[in-house]
């Protein structure tokens, strides 16, 4: 929806989610963005993780696998 472009709504939403994560003392929050959005998420502290060597919730892994199976481009990030 073009009328919402340029309003920084994505910035506000991700910033809110990161702050709520910290406020609620959650240890991790996962993000499954497309490759071209990695710099956007990195500015909020998200970073790529090695999902094969780190113990990750099975629901997250299933969603990640679904994304890998259905999209040509993908990047997996983790916030701490």
| First-last CA distance in the chain | 31
Return the structure tokens found at 26. 């959650």
* Sign of torsion over alpha carbons 51, 43, 34, 16: positive
Spatial distance between the Cα atoms of 69 and 9, rounded to a whole number of angstroms: 29
Residue 80 has pLDDT above 60, yes or no: no
> Are the C-beta atoms of 76 and 51 separated by less than 8 Å?
yes
Backbone angles phi, psi at 73, to 5 degrees: -125, 135
Q: How many CB atoms lie within 10 A of CB 38?
A: 16
Topology annotation, domain 2-79:
Aminopeptidase (3.40.630)
Per-residue pLDDT tens over the stretch 6-58:
898 999 999 999 999 999 999 888 888 888 888 999 999 998 888 777 788 88
Contact 39, 70 (CB under 8 A): no
């Amino acid at each position: 929806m073009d009328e919402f472009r340029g309003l920084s709504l994505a910035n506000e939403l991700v910033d809110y989610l990161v702050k709520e994560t910290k406020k609620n003392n959650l240890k991790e929050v996962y993000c499954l963005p497309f490759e071209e959005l990695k710099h956007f998420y990195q500015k909020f502290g998200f970073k790529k993780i090695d999902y094969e060597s780190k113990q990750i919730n099975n629901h997250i892994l299933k969603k990640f696998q679904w994304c890998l199976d259905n999209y040509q481009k993908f990047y997996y990030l983790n916030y701490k």
